[in-house]
Each structure stands twice: as structure tokens, then as C-alpha cells.
Amino acid sequence: MSDRPNWLVGALAILLALTLLAPVFGWAAGAVGYAEPLENAAEQTGAVDSAEAVSIALLADYSVAGLGSAAGTFVSAVVGTALTLVVALGIGRLLGTAPNAE
């Protein structure tokens, strides 16, 4: 228990480093042309036009309205990483403290 902050600080530093890398990788992937097997399959079968965007997504495609591509990717990475951390921590606490029903 006493060493928890110790590894958490290191872990948070790694998370921050990953979010800083996100715009770099985004640029590099864009430079070679981003396509996953899923997209190739959609193109080959003519399914591409069937795709629908998620209308409630606030940061659709990991971008922020009014911000450039790199800045938007970075903000998305920070928001998403922090949100995931908080939600997963909450789930962990809920499960950890739940009374053993069975």
C-alpha cells in the first residue's frame, strides 16, 4: 500500500509520454496512408458507403473543432486517457468493494 503512489507516478508519466506521441504517430500514419484490413474488406465488397458516423461523439475521429490536426489529436489523447483512467478506476473500486454475493 505504501508504494502505491510510487508506481502510480511512474505510470502516469508513461501515460503522458504516450499522449505526447499520439500526434507524431498520427502524422506518420497519415503520411503512409492509413488503412486497416477492415477498410480493405469494406472497399472490396462495396460496403464503404454504408458506414455511419456516431452523432453523439464529442471528439469525433479524435479531433477537436477549431484545433489543428496535431493539437486536436493531443487533446483527444489526454481527454481520452484521463477519462479511461477515471472510469476504469471507478469500475475497479466498485468491483473491489462489492460484497461477495455468492
Contact positions vs another protein (CB under 8 A): 1, 4, 7-8, 11-12, 14-15, 18-19, 21-22, 25-26, 28-29, 31-38, 40-42, 44-47, 50-54, 56-62, 73, 76-77, 79-89, 91-93, 95-98, 100-102
- Least CB distance from residue 10 to another protein, whole Å? 9
Closest to 80 in 3D by CA, of 55, 58, 95: 58
- Least CB distance from residue 22 to another protein, whole Å? 4
Distance between CA atoms of 92 and 86, rounded to whole angstroms? 10
Distance between CA atoms of 15 and 79, rounded to whole angstroms? 12
